[in-house]
């Protein structure tokens, strides 16, 4: 299969080495090492991205806009195949090939506040350079992706129709997550505020989606499949979800989950570097909420998936999504403990 795919790009498995790449849960990704060049090959998960053409078309329109308006911005576009396409279809699967950005590396775990700052600056820059791009030109690649009200509803439905045994065993965590339902109300009220802007949003701001140079300066962001109209709380919140704690959502020793205040500040500062002149006051007041929103949503998503037999995320061991959900619930609790200390950070950074 991969042989056929590579051929459409004028490459072959004889002259290139293909290895699985990264830790993404959704798409399948490979690194392709050819004599003098390196590429990233991806197969799109169609259970999640039901219309891959919408993904390709978003990347095309953003790329065209940036080439024109911000030619200096580093944007990684897919390579055009010998058949003239930026995404190819082979036996009902969709593939894309990207150039491997030279002298770049990605990281899996945020170890220093500086890395958090650089990443946040890059995600902020991405939304900033697209500030005048008409978001209505973007397709919705996953409908209601970060709609917390819907995620909460899916959780309630899973409690009614899911695996009975798992529901019974999850009783404690279920009631803990119910106790945070005010976050859903706050979310709804924020969205009804006109000062809460719909912006070009990345929707997957984990650290491995940022490329760094040799000096650990951010170069650009990658993985643009979930770029859609959205709210800044998605991007800032997912950075908090994935950078604040020294351990990831996979950790099952929950005592290791802590919220590092200096990393929180680095995220707010890094994001504000490029975004502070466009964020409204209402948005600036919502940095802390962003973290609660995304961590809560991910806890709900993992637990929901556990209750419906892991159909979305899959599970590498029994109870995997239950562990992930518990992990996120602990992270949420740790973040909430810091509300007093952190909630005003960044709020008073005025527009210049």
Residue 204 binding Mg ion, by CB under 5 A: yes
Residue 223 binding Mg ion, by CB under 5 A: yes
> Considering the complex, what minimum distance in angstroms separates the CB of residue 242 from Mg ion?
11
Which region holds residue 36: left if phi is over 0, alpha if psi is between -120 and 50, else beta? alpha
Nearest residue (CB) to ligand GN1, 228 versus 259: 228
How many Cβ atoms from other residues are within 10 Å of residue 203's Cβ? 20
82: partner contacted, choices Mg ion, ligand GN1, none (Cβ within 5-8 A by kind): none
Nearest residue (CB) to ligand GN1, 250 versus 277: 250
Residue 24 binding ligand GN1, by CB under 6 A: yes
> Considering the complex, what minimum distance in angstroms separates the CB of residue 238 from Mg ion?
10
Q: Which stretch binds ligand GN1 (CB under 6 A): 18-26, 114-122, 123-131, 279-287?
A: 18-26
Residue 202's nearest CA partner among 59, 351, 53 is: 59
Residue 220 binding ligand GN1, by CB under 6 A: no
How many Cβ atoms from other residues are within 10 Å of residue 145's Cβ? 18
305: partner contacted, choices Mg ion, ligand GN1, none (Cβ within 5-8 A by kind): none
**Cα–Cα distances in angstroms (integers) from residue 232 to residues 145, 237, 319, in the given order:** 14, 8, 32
> Considering the complex, what minimum distance in angstroms separates the CB of residue 25 from ligand GN1?
4
Nearest residue (CB) to ligand GN1, 24 versus 319: 24
Chain positions 257 to 296 lying near ligand GN1, rule: CB under 6 A, are none
CA-to-CA distance for 261 and 267, rounded, in angstroms? Answer: 10
Asked if residue 303 lies in contact with residue 177, where contact means CB atoms within 8 angstroms, the answer is yes
The DSSP code sequence of 82-100 is TTS-SSEEETTEEEEEEEP
Residue 107 binding ligand GN1, by CB under 6 A: no
CA-to-CA distance for 144 and 158, rounded, in angstroms? Answer: 17
Residue 297 binding ligand GN1, by CB under 6 A: no
Binding mask 30-69 for Mg ion (x = CB under 5 A): ----------------------------------------
Binding ligand GN1 by CB under 6 A: which of 118, 176, 204, 310?
Answer: 204
Phi, psi of 200 (to 5 degrees): -70, 115
Nearest residue (CB) to ligand GN1, 25 versus 64: 25
Burial of 15 (0-12, 13-18, 19+ CB in 10 A): exposed
> Considering the complex, what minimum distance in angstroms separates the CB of residue 27 from Mg ion?
7
Asked if residue 44 lies in contact with residue 54, where contact means CB atoms within 8 angstroms, the answer is no
Burial of 68 (0-12, 13-18, 19+ CB in 10 A): exposed
Residue 298 binding ligand GN1, by CB under 6 A: yes
Which positions lie near ligand GN1, rule CB under 6 A?
24-26, 48, 142, 204, 226, 249, 298
Q: Which stretches of the chain bind Mg ion, using CB under 5 A?
A: 204, 223
């Amino acid at each position: 299969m991969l042989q056929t795919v590579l051929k459409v790009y004028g490459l072959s498995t004889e002259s290139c080495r293909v290895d699985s790449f990264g830790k993404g849960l959704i798409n399948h990704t490979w690194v392709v090492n050819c004599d003098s060049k390196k590429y990233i090959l991806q197969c799109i998960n169609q259970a999640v991205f039901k219309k891959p053409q919408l993904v390709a078309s978003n990347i095309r329109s953003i790329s065209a806009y940036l080439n024109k308006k911000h030619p200096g911005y580093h944007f990684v576009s897919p390579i055009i195949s010998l058949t003239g396409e930026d995404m190819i279809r082979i036996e009902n699967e969709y593939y894309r090939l990207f150039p491997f950005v030279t002298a770049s590396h990605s990281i899996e775990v945020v170890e220093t506040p500086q890395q958090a700052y650089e990443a946040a600056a890059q995600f902020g820059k991405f939304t900033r350079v697209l500030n005048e791009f008409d978001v209505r030109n973007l397709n919705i690649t996953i409908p209601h992706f970060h709609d917390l009200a819907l995620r909460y509803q899916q959780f309630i439905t899973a409690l009614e129709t899911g695996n009975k045994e798992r529901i019974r065993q999850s009783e404690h965590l279920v009631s803990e997550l119910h106790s945070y339902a005010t976050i859903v109300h706050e979310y709804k009220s924020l969205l009804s505020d006109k000062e809460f802007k719909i912006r070009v949003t990345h929707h997957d701001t984990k650290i491995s989606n940022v490329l760094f140079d040799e000096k650990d300066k951010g170069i650009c962001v990658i993985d643009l499949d979930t770029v859609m109209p959205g709210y800044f709380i998605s991007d800032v919140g997912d950075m908090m979800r994935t950078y604040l704690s020294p351990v990831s959502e996979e950790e099952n020793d929950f005592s290791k989950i802590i919220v590092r205040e200096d990393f929180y500040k680095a995220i707010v500062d890094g994001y504000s570097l490029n975004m502070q002149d466009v964020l409204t006051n209402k948005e600036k007041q919502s940095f802390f909420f962003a973290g609660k929103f995304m961590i809560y949503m991910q806890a709900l998503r993992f637990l929901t998936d556990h209750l419906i037999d892991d159909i979305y995320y899959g599970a590498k061991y029994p109870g995997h999504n239950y562990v992930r959900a518990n992990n996120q619930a602990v992270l949420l609790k740790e973040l909430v403990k810091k509300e007093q200390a952190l909630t005003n950070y960044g709020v008073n950074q005025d527009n210049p």
